[in-house]
Structure 1
Amino acid sequence: MPELPVPPTPPVPLAALLAREDLALRRIAGPSDPGAVIHSAHTSEMADPYPYLLGGELLLTAGVHITDAAGSGTYFDDYVARIVAAGGAALGFGVAPVHDTVPRALVAACDAYGLPLLEVPPQTPFAAVARAVWQLMAQARLAELRRVTEAQQSLAAAASRPDPVPSVLHRLSRRLDGWAVLYGPEGTEIAASGRRPAAPVADALASLTAVVRPADATSPPAAPQGPPPPATGRAAPVQGRAAPASAVPARPASATDTAADGSRLAAYALGAGRGFVLGVAGARREPGDHTIASVAAVLLSLLTGEHQSGTGAARVSALVRVLLGADPAGVAPLLGTGPWRVVHGRPDPAPAGGRAGRANRDAARPDPVAAAALGAALGSALVDGGPEVVRVLVPGDREIVPQDGWTLGVSAEAAPGGWPDADAQAARALARAHATRVPLVGHGGPAGLGDLVPADAAREHARALLAPLAGSPALTETLRAWLSLHGSWDRTAVALSVHRNTVRQRVARSAALLGADLDDPDVRMELWFALRRDE
């Protein structure tokens, strides 16, 4: 007989129904499997209930169909065999008014065919059993919906973190109590979370991705050898050898399989044509797991998406021209009209005992996907995802707002020729933002007295004044940060990621080399003016 589908209802553990004291049901035959479940309760007094069962039912009967001569032949064997063939999950026999006890031949048949047999006492009507099943089913549905909703909220929060892809995979592996892995178009592992399964299971999951990877993806991994998977999307058992292209059927959005050790595998394609695939492996598959994994697949699809619009193509063209030696000012019109601003961003470090230390700052380095996500949030695809700081070139008319999980420094508006100066402005603004522990600091403001001095004269004066520090960039940068933070040792140490004693030593050394009294506000003002012009 072909395998019959069960109704699309939440399964109810048979043990939960037996635990209801108000029903007083008792198992008297069949296996005692704690994992046995039922999907509905159905009453029938037909001698052959097969045509009326969908599969997964608790079939209830009072034995009206049983004749006096039934016990001497194969009646009960045939009856139980037909229930099992129809996919029935259990049989409930009501004692009284037709039969005072459950027939022994029926008990023997249920034991022989492995069908759980429940004795329903006289005081328990079948309607009460059916109602209890639906109550347990409603509770299971509510628990499933609550679990899915909580998982959706958790995954969405993870997607908004500075490291969205690892965070989503981590939350997914925790929610499904398994291993979650993101495969690239070439079949390589980009990121993973959870306890890695044994090599055969990991290899089986990697092979399963061939079922859902788009046909135009680059160099898909080897598909399993053997007959093609059924049209329902279930993959054929993985044998570990490559299959010809004809063995791979039309590719569904997701596919499931079971590894040799019983591990449950699932693969989800992330968007059409890009080749990214989410894989999940776990010891079991719970209700709602598919929905939770599908939500993660949608989020990862957005995070790994590549938008090659006409504007994006023009920007790539501009970059190529600059690399080939074109004048940046001449290429700038390809990027759009108007001035631009430079934004420096760094992921916020995770707190450690209430204070961010160097180890946490190192752990907060941005990954490429996080850098692209920041650029998308700021409305620009011109992103440089460096190892420490993400730099984004943003149109000048774009409003820069704080971003959750990031500390930002923003330059003043600048034409292409002034982008290097704007980059330095954004770097200083970011350092000040970290020192003052605010999410965003912008450079610029109204013109001051310093703007009244000719730029060339001011720069010449600054270089002469700061000449003793010319060979020590660390001293110059420390003095600049210390003055910008009003002489605060602690905030300067935070901004420069050094110890406060190092700041004291550098500032004292700078004062000695300059022969200046840094307690004098006039001296500080003069040095600040020089440092501003010597950028």
Structure 2
Amino acid sequence: MPDSTAPQGAPSAPPTPPVPLTALLAREDLGLRLVAGVPESGGAEGVRIQWVHTSEMADPYPYLLGGELLLTAGVLLKDPEMYAARVVEAGGAAIGFGVAPVYDTVPDALVAACERRGLPLLEVPPQTPFTAIARAVWGLMAQARLREVRRVSEAQQGLANAAARPDPVPAVLQQLASRLGGWAVLLAPDGSALHVAGRAPSREAREALGRLARVVSPEPDDDEPADDTAAPPSRAAGAQAEPGAPAGTTRRPPSSATDTVGEAHLAAYALGGGQGLVLGVAAEGREPGGHTIAGVAVVLLSLLTAPHQGADASGRTAALVRLLLGGTPAEVVRDLGPGPWTVVHGTRPGQPDRIAASALGAALGSTLVDTDGETVRILLSGDRRIEPQPGWTLGVSAPATAAELGTADAAAARALRRAEATRVPLARQRDAGLGELVAPDEAAVHARTLLAPVADSPALAETLRVWLSLHGSWDRTAVALGVHRNTVRQRIARCAALLGVDLDDADVRMELWFALRYV
């Protein structure tokens, strides 16, 4: 057949999910029987039907798009060998051969031809109309589409809930990895992994994912990988000069790229916000709706990692320039926002990175955020009520003028220490007591030395803490700890013996209480 009969262009697949051949064979009402051509790779389970087409042409090739279950009664079947070859060449998924009214059985020559080519050949019994097969395929497609919509909907809800958690970025990645049954990684512009979740794929797959990240990343990367989690390759696959474009211009990188390594389906997505971050995903195979689910995660991660513009960015930049050129904080702080000012210090389990710090700042309504890897410091303009944030321990200063910001910063630090000592999520600045005027490092050394005899027994130390906080009440302490009052008495007596102190002495109680705040 001349090439002029070949279909022009590669048609896109239909929007509905394909139907596995096994699902069609499982329909007992159709009575279909697989007589030849089970593919060596994946068997019948790997055959997918995208649509149904009926044709009695001697050569069906010009009328096929690929992925069809081709139904025929063999009216013009003259050369079974050529017929099977042309169906395979056109990309047909399978042949359904009706044994009536032209043939009583499927021709042996067609069976042999399909067997040689791995083309599934189905026997269609006389009582099964071709329209019944088509209707069954459309019904199975509708069911698959419904499952896909339900899967995407449930994933959207799960990702949204994850984005509202105290650690939204790791939570969203964990949810995404769980929904896709694979691995998710947030990559920095240099290719290093900021957060990972799920079961890591092979090293080959991670390296391929690094190459995909380089394709979609708008930022130039170093040639050497930051670690072996996702090694960035050469920049050759990144932005390139547009053909015919003026010198010095480059092509805008794609927003996503995909690849396959073995059984792993890989995808990389550039996040918005101008941070140069990339979401990488490795899943076992490609399930319907997976790309849509990943797209939802991309939107959420872009919002969570983007710098939130609470105040005018140009005004903040101008204030910073004046400060670097010799201006005083009191002179430049007016450009950052209206006073008064509140300073917030925050900590959480683990080390807060810049993304977690920005997320806390966004939750409190400020972009003026700094972190040293242990404590996050946030500067808030205006008189506002600071509420506890899930997963964080916060210390909040009283409203202050620009000239008092240094004092407010120290007050927020003391409030944070008090919150940690008393195990509350938020503490506010109060009039400084004697305990808050002690240097924290010196107080901690003294506290460890004083409480060393009970340090190896968390139960004794906790009982002493609760008993002192409840002013020596045996019954209230027993209720708070969920133990018998006699147990409380025994533990406090043991503490007194180990520490060698008289717990009836108010000075002793006060010193122990202060010491417990620093351990």
Task: Indicate the TM-score class for this superposition, using the shorter chain for normalisation.
Answer: 0.7 to 0.9
Matched, 1:25 2:32: yes
Cross-structure match for 2:443: 473
1:455 is matched with: none
SS of corresponding position for 1:102: coil
- The residue number in structure 2 matching 1:188 is 192
Q: Is 2:61 the counterpart of 1:50? A: yes
Report if the CA contact (8 A) 1:23-1:124 is conserved.
yes
Aligned equivalent of 2:47, options 36, 58, 75 = 36
Preserved contact between residue 207 and residue 222 of structure 1 (Cα < 8 Å): no
SS of the counterpart of 2:370?
strand
Runs (5+) with no aligned partner, structure 1:
224-237, 348-360, 445-449, 451-458, 495-499, 529-535
Amino acid at match of 2:302: S
* Aligned pairs (5 A) from 1:196-275: 196-214=200-218, 217-219=219-221, 243=236, 246=240, 250-259=252-261, 261-271=262-272, 273-275=274-276
Match of 1:378 in 2: 364
1:285 aligned residue: 286
> Within 1, Cα distance between the matches of 2:439 and 2:390?
38
* Letter of the 2:307 counterpart: E
What is residue 354 of structure 1 aligned with on the other side?
none
2-side partners of 1:190 and 1:126: how far apart?
55
- TM-score, with structure 2 as normaliser: 0.74
- 1:402, distance to aligned residue in structure 2 (A): 4.0
Deviation at residue 137 of structure 1 after TM alignment: 0.9
Deviation at 1:433, TM superposition (A): 5.6
Identify if the C-alpha distance between structure 1 residues 441 and 371 changes in structure 2 by more than 3 Å, giving closer, same or farther.
same
SS at match of 1:206: helix
Closer/same/farther in 2, CA of residues 468 and 110 from structure 1, 3 Å limit: closer
How far apart are the structure 2 equivalents of 1:309 and 1:128?
A: 61
Secondary structure of the residue that 2:312 maps to in structure 1?
Answer: helix
Report SS of the residue matched to 1:77. helix
One-letter amino acid of the counterpart of residue 74, structure 2: G
User: Of residues 111, 114, 127 in structure 1, which corresponds to 2:115?
Assistant: 111
**Distance in 1, Cα, partners of 2:438 & 2:180:** 62
Shift of 1:13: 0.8
CA-CA distance at 1:375 after TM superposition: 0.6
- Which structure 2 residue ranges, 5 or more long, are not aligned? 1-5, 226-230, 243-250, 451-464, 482-490, 515-519
Tell me what 1:11 maps to. 18
Q: Report the 3-state secondary structure (helix = DSSP H, G, I; strand = E; otherwise coil) of the residue aligned with 1:243.
A: helix
Cα 1:417/1:200, change in 2 over 3 Å: same
Correspondence for 2:306: 305
Aligned residues: 460
- 1: CA distance between counterparts of 2:339 and 2:28? 77
Counterpart of 2:397 in structure 1 is: 411
Within a 5 Å distance, the mapping from 1:101-500 to structure 2 comes to: 101-214=105-218, 217-219=219-221, 243=236, 246=240, 250-259=252-261, 261-271=262-272, 273-307=274-308, 311-315=312-316, 318=319, 326-347=327-348, 361=349, 363=350, 365-427=351-413, 429-430=415-416, 440-443=426-429, 473-474=443-444, 487=471
Q: CA deviation at 1:396?
A: 3.0
1:285 alignment partner AA:
R
Contact 1:13 1:36 in 2 (8 A): yes
Q: How far apart, CA to CA, are the structure 2 residues paired with 1:101 and 1:81? A: 21
For residues 178 and 90 of structure 1, do their structure 2 counterparts lie closer, same or farther at Cα, with a shift above 3 Å needed? same
CA shift for structure 1 position 484:
11
Percent identity of paired positions between Structure 1 and Structure 2: 56
Whole-angstrom distance in 2 between the partners of 1:483 and 1:326: 52
